[in-house]
C-alpha cells in the first residue's frame, strides 16, 4: 500500500491528493511516525503547483466552501486529519455535488467532527485568550491551543483591537501572530521576554477580585465550569491562578 | 484607578441578575475605535457556580432610595454602600476589554437621589464610553423605573440592549413587595422602547439603530404565590406584545428576612422547568396552553416536552423520513440540532435506526415515539415509556437528584434547551 507523507502544509496535502486519487487504498499523512505495514511504499510528496491548483479548482467546482473547510480540518491536532480530509474530497469528487449536508455518510460525519473541534476551539479561545500589557504598550497573549488556530484568532482580534498592537503566541508550536496596528504576520517565536506595564498587575488583580465577587457561592457547580472551561486552558487565565 | 473594595461591593450587589448574554448584536468597529460586538456572543470565563462571564456586570451605585422587600440593597438594609463615577467605570471597561477579560458592560444601578439623576449618570457613562473612549463593544443597560422618557431614549441610542425587569409575575405581588415600582413604571418604558425598535425595523434604519440587541426582562420566581401557568402566560404576552429577546427567571434566594417573604428559596428545579417551557415557546412552536394550564404548575418529574408527549400519545409514533420538522421537534429526546440533522440527511437517502445511531442521535427516549422506514423499536406499554422518560434523560435525572438532595447546591441550565 502506498503511503503519501507530506510536510504538513496545505499545498503538499493538495498535491498528495492529486497523486493518491487513483489509488484503491492508500494513506495520506503528515505524521512521520506513521505505522508501516510490510507492503508499504513510502512516497514523500513535494509541493507541485499545477497538481495543487487542479485539486483546488476541482473541489471548488462542486462546493465553493469545501476548500475553506479542508483548510480548517488541516489545522487539527488529530493525526488522521489528512486521511479524513482526503476521504472527504474523494467523496465530493465522486458525488459531483456538495456533500457537506449528507449527514449520514461516514466520511462526512468524521470530517465534520474534526471541523467542529477546530472551529469550536477557535470560538472558545476568542473568549479565553488573555492579553497582558507590556511596558511599551503592546498586548501580549501566550496560550497553548490543541489545534493550530493562531491565524484564525489574529483575524478576529485585528478587527476588534484595530488600533492596538498585539501578539498572540502559541507557545507549544512556537509560532506567533503579530499585529502592528495595520496588518498582521505569522512568525516563528520560541520564547518571548515581556516587561509588564506599570498597571498590569493592578488590573489583573481587579479582574481576580471581580471573578471572586461575581460567583454565587451558595450554588457551586464545578462540573459545569470545567465542562465549559477545561482545566488545560487554566494555565493562562489569571482568574484561575489566584495566588498573588 | 477604581478602588478594589468598591468593585467588590458593586459586583456582589449586581450578581443575582441572571441575564448575562452578549449575543444578538453586530456592531462593527469604527475608525479609531476599540471593539466590536459578535453576533453569537462570547463567554470569557466561567465561575465555580457554572455561570458564564461575558459582561462586566456592576451597579453604578447600591445606595438606594427604594425599599423593595426582597433586595439586599433596599434603603432600610444595613449594608456597605458604594458608588462609582462615569470615568471610573469607563476606565475599568476599557482596560478589561483590551485584555480580553470581557465582551462589554452590563450597567445597572440602585436608585440614588432620584430616578432621573440615576438614569442620567448611567447614560453619561455610556455616552462617554461611546464618544470619548470610542468604545464599540457590547453594552447592556438596566432601565430605571420612573425615569424621564427622553433620557431613556437617549440611553437606548447608545446601548445594544436594555432591560426593564418586571420583577414579579403579578401586579398584586409587585405592590406588596416593591411598593415604589408600579406596573406602569416598568411596562410603559418597555413599550415605548419596543415602538422605537419597531419603527427602525419598518423603516429599514441601518445606522444608529435603537437597541440592536433588543430588550429582555427578568422576574423572581417563588417569592410570591403565582403558579407556573400564570408565569408562562405573562412570558408569552411579553414575547408577543413587547417582542422581548429573552425572559429570565431568577429563583428566589432568601437573602433578606421578611414576614412578607417565604422562608425558603424556590427550588432550582422549578426555575429549570420554566426555562425548558420558555424554550418550547420560543423555538419549538408550542403554545402555553399545550404545556401548562393557567392555574397549574409544571411537572417536576418530566420535562415539559415529555409531559406533553405523554398526554398526546395518540400522535405518535411519527415516521422519521417523512414527519415535518415541527413534529420532529416534538419528539422527546430529539432537540433542534438532531431535528436539523435528520431533515438534512433524509433529503439524500432514507434513514434507518443504524443511520440515526451513526449520526449520534440519542434514541433512548426517542425510540418510543418514532418509526424508521416503518419499523418501530420502542415499547407499546405506556408504563414502560413513562419509566424510560424518567430515568433516561441524558443526565438530567442525576442533576435532578442532586437538586432534590441539596436544593441549594445545584444549578439549572440557564437556557432550558431540551
Ligand atoms: S430599586 Fe429595589 S431592587 Fe433596585 S436596588 Fe433599589 S431596593 Fe433593590
Per-residue pLDDT, B385: 87
Is the minimum CB–CB distance between A199 and chain B shorter than 8 Å? yes
Closest CA to B337 of B347, B348, B325, B321: B325
Contact A101 B347 (CB under 8 A): yes
Domain of residue B341, residue span? 304-393+401-415
Share of chain B above pLDDT 70, in %: 90
A30 lies in the same domain as A62: yes
SS3 content of chain A, % helix, strand, coil (to 5): 45, 15, 40
Q: A residues 85-114 near B, CB within 8 Å?
A: 101-104, 106, 109
Query: Does residue A142 have a pLDDT over 90?
Result: yes
Residue B296 covered by a domain: no
A116 lies in the same domain as A77: yes
Place B45 in a pLDDT band, splitting at 50, 70 and 90. Answer: very high
pTM metric for this prediction: 0.90
A242 lies in the same domain as A190: yes
For residue B3, the CA-to-ligand 1 centroid distance in Å is: 23
Per-residue pLDDT, B399: 43
Question: What mean pLDDT do residues B313-331 have?
Answer: 95
CA B189 to each of CA A156, B115, B186, B265, B370: distance values in angstroms, whole numbers, following the listed order: 36, 13, 6, 30, 47
A39-43, A63-67, B396-400: the lowest-pLDDT one: B396-400
A110-124, B206-220, B225-239: the lowest-pLDDT one: B206-220
Residue B298 covered by a domain: no
Q: Among the three residues B290, B325, B347, which one is the final residue of a domain in this structure?
A: B290
Sort out which chain A residues have CB atoms less than 8 A from B7's CB and list them: 206, 209-210, 213
B260 lies in the same domain as B325: no
A95 lies in the same domain as A140: no
Is the minimum CB–CB distance between B402 and chain A shorter than 8 Å? no
Per-residue pLDDT, B406: 31
User: How is B174-232 classified by DSSP, letter by letter?
Assistant: HHHH-TT--HHHHHHHHHHHHHHHHHHHHTT--TT-S-TT-EEEEEEESSS---HHHHH
Query: Does residue B44 have a pLDDT over 60?
Result: yes
CA distance A200 to chain B (A): 9
What pLDDT digit, counting tens, does each position of B245-286 carry? Answer: 999 998 887 877 888 999 888 778 898 899 999 999 998 889
B112 lies in the same domain as B176: yes
B308 lies in the same domain as B284: no
A154-168, B231-245, B260-274: the lowest-pLDDT one: B260-274
A46 lies in the same domain as A103: yes
- Give the position, in ligand 1's atom list, of the atom nearest the Cα of B167: 3
Residue A199 CB contacts under 8 Å (≥ 6 apart), including other chains: A133, B1, B95
Closest CA to B253 of B218, B298, B222, B217: B222
Per-residue pLDDT, B397: 38
A93 lies in the same domain as A39: yes
Residue A173 CB contacts under 8 Å (≥ 6 apart), including other chains: A148, A150
A224 lies in the same domain as A168: yes
Q: Among the three residues A89, A121, A153, which one is the final residue of a domain in this structure?
A: A121
Question: What mean pLDDT do residues A106-114 have?
Answer: 95
A9 lies in the same domain as A110: yes
CA distance A163 to chain B (A): 7
Query: What is the overall mean pLDDT for chain B?
Result: 88
What pLDDT digit, counting tens, does each position of B340-380 carry? Answer: 999 999 999 999 999 999 998 989 899 999 999 999 998 88
Per-residue pLDDT, A243: 64
B312 lies in the same domain as B284: no
**Considering its fold, how many domains does chain A have in total?**
2
A94 lies in the same domain as A11: yes
Strands B318-319 and B370-372: parallel
Per-residue pLDDT, A136: 93
Is B370 strand, coil or helix?
strand
Residue B145 covered by a domain: yes
Per-residue pLDDT, A189: 93
Tell me, what's the ipTM? 0.93
A154-163, A187-196, B298-307, B402-411: the lowest-pLDDT one: B402-411
Residue B367: CB atoms within 10 A of its CB come to: 21
Q: Among the three residues A99, A121, A143, which one is the final residue of a domain in this structure?
A: A121
A144 lies in the same domain as A40: no
Q: Among the three residues B251, B268, B290, which one is the final residue of a domain in this structure?
A: B290
* Cβ atoms A139, A132 nearer than 8 A: yes
B259 lies in the same domain as B343: no
Closest CA to B102 of B78, B129, B121: B129
Q: Among the three residues A121, A152, A173, which one is the final residue of a domain in this structure?
A: A121
B310 lies in the same domain as B283: no
Per-residue pLDDT, B19: 53
A133 lies in the same domain as A242: yes
B347 lies in the same domain as B210: no
B190 lies in the same domain as B335: no
B79 lies in the same domain as B124: yes
A70-74, A210-214, B327-331, B384-388: the lowest-pLDDT one: B384-388
Per-residue pLDDT, B251: 85
B110 lies in the same domain as B259: yes
Question: What mean pLDDT do residues B372-393 have?
Answer: 82
Q: Tell which phi-psi region holds residue B222, choosing left (phi > 0), alpha (psi between -120 and 50) or beta.
A: left
Residue B197 covered by a domain: yes
Q: Among the three residues B263, B290, B317, which one is the final residue of a domain in this structure?
A: B290
Place B31 in a pLDDT band, splitting at 50, 70 and 90. Answer: low
What pLDDT digit, counting tens, does each position of A22-64 carry? Answer: 898 899 999 888 888 778 899 999 999 999 999 999 999 999 9
Per-residue pLDDT, A24: 86
CA distance B280 to B291: 9
B95 lies in the same domain as B232: yes
Sign, CA dihedral B271-B276-B280-B283, equals: positive
A35 lies in the same domain as A114: yes
CA distance A99 to A113: 14
Contact B98 A161 (CB under 8 A): yes
CATH, residue B93: 3.20.20.70
Place B35 in a pLDDT band, splitting at 50, 70 and 90. Answer: confident
Contact B92 A206 (CB under 8 A): yes
**Considering its fold, how many domains does chain B have in total?**
2
Question: What mean pLDDT do residues B112-131 have?
Answer: 96
Query: Does residue B415 have a pLDDT over 80?
Result: no
B279 lies in the same domain as B310: no
Query: What is the overall mean pLDDT for chain A?
Result: 94
What pLDDT digit, counting tens, does each position of B284-304 carry? Answer: 889 999 999 989 999 988 999
Domain of residue A105, residue span? 2-121
Strands A165-170 and A175-179: antiparallel
Amino acid at each position: 500500500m502506498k503511503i503519501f507523507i507530506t510536510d504538513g502544509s496545505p499545498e503538499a496535502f493538495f498535491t498528495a491528493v492529486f497523486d493518491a486519487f487513483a489509488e484503491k487504498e492508500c494513506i495520506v499523512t503528515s505524521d512521520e511516525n506513521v505505522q508501516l505495514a510490510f507492503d508499504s511504499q513510502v512516497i514523500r510528496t513535494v509541493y507541485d503547483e499545477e497538481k495543487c491548483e487542479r485539486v483546488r479548482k476541482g473541489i471548488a467546482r462542486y462546493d465553493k466552501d469545501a476548500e475553506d473547510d479542508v483548510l480548517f480540518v488541516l489545522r487539527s491536532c488529530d493525526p488522521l486529519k489528512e486521511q479524513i480530509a482526503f476521504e472527504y474530497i474523494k467523496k465530493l469528487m465522486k458525488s459531483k455535488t456538495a456533500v457537506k449536508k449528507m449527514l449520514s455518510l461516514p466520511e462526512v460525519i468524521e470530517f465534520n467532527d474534526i471541523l467542529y473541534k477546530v472551529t469550536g476551539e477557535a470560538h472558545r479561545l476568542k473568549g479565553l485568550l488573555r492579553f497582558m500589557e507590556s511596558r511599551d504598550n503592546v498586548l501580549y497573549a501566550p496560550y497553548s491551543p490543541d489545534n493550530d488556530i493562531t491565524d484564525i484568532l489574529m483575524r478576529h482580534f485585528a478587527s476588534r483591537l484595530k488600533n492596538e498592537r498585539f501578539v498572540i503566541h502559541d507557545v507549544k508550536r512556537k509560532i506567533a501572530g503579530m499585529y502592528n496596528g495595520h496588518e498582521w504576520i505569522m512568525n516563528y517565536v520560541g520564547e518571548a521576554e515581556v516587561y509588564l506595564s506599570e498597571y498590569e498587575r493592578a488590573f489583573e488583580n481587579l479582574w481576580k477580585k471581580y471573578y471572586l465577587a461575581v460567583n454565587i457561592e451558595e450554588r457551586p457547580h464545578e462540573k459545569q465550569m470545567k465542562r465549559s472551561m477545561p482545566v488545560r486552558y487554566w494555565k493562562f487565565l489569571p482568574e484561575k491562578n489566584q495566588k498573588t | 484607578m477604581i478602588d478594589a473594595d468598591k468593585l467588590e461591593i458593586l459586583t456582589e450587589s449586581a450578581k443575582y441578575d441572571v441575564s448575562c448574554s452578549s449575543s444578538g448584536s453586530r456592531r462593527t468597529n469604527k475608525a479609531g475605535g476599540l471593539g466590536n460586538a459578535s453576533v453569537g456572543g462570547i463567554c470569557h470565563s466561567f465561575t465555580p457556580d457554572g455561570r458564564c462571564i461575558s459582561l462586566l456586570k456592576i451597579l453604578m451605585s447600591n445606595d438606594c432610595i427604594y425599599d423593595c422587600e426582597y433586595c439586599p440593597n433596599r434603603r432600610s438594609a444595613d449594608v456597605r454602600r458604594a458608588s462609582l463615577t462615569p470615568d471610573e467605570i469607563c476606565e475599568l471597561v476599557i482596560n478589561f476589554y483590551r485584555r480580553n477579560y470581557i465582551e462589554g458592560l452590563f450597567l445597572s444601578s440602585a436608585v440614588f437621589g432620584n430616578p432621573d439623576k440615576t438614569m442620567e449618570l448611567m447614560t453619561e457613562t455610556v455616552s462617554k464610553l461611546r464618544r470619548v473612549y470610542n468604545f464599540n463593544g457590547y453594552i447592556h443597560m438596566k432601565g430605571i423605573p420612573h425615569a424621564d422618557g427622553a433620557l431613556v431614549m437617549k440611553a437606548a441610542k447608545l446601548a445594544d440592549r436594555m432591560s426593564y425587569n418586571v420583577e414579579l409575575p403579578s401586579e398584586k405581588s409587585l405592590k406588596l413587595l416593591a411598593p415604589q415600582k408600579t406596573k406602569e413604571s416598568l411596562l410603559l418604558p418597555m413599550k415605548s422602547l419596543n415602538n422605537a425598535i419597531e419603527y427602525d425595523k419598518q423603516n429599514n434604519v441601518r445606522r444608529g439603530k435603537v437597541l440592536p440587541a433588543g430588550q429582555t426582562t427578568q422576574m423572581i420566581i417563588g417569592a410570591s404565590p403565582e403558579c407556573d401557568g400564570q408565569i408562562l402566560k405573562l412570558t408569552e404576552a411579553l414575547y408577543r406584545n413587547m417582542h422581548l429577546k429573552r425572559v429570565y427567571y431568577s429563583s428566589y434566594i432568601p437573602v433578606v428576612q421578611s414576614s412578607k417573604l417565604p422562608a425558603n428559596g424556590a427550588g432550582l428545579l422549578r426555575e429549570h422547568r420554566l426555562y425548558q417551557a420558555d424554550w418550547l415557546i420560543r423555538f419549538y412552536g408550542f403554545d402555553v396552553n399545550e404545556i401548562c394550564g393557567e392555574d397549574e404548575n409544571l411537572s417536576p418529574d418530566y420535562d415539559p416536552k415529555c409531559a406533553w408527549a405523554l398526554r398526546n400519545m395518540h400522535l405518535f409514533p411519527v415516521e422519521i423520513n417523512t414527519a415535518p420538522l415541527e413534529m420532529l421537534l416534538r419528539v422527546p429526546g430529539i432537540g433542534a440540532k438532531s431535528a436539523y440533522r435528520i431533515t438534512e440527511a433524509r433529503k439524500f437517502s432514507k434513514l434507518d435506526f443504524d443511520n440515526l445511531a451513526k449520526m449520534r442521535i440519542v434514541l433512548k427516549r426517542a425510540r418510543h415515539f418514532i418509526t424508521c422506514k416503518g419499523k418501530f423499536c420502542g415499547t407499546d406499554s405506556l408504563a414502560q415509556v413513562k419509566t424510560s422518560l424518567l430515568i433516561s434523560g441524558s443526565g438530567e435525572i442525576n442533576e435532578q437528584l442532586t437538586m432534590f438532595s441539596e436544593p441549594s447546591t445545584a444549578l439549572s441550565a440557564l437556557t432550558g434547551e431540551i
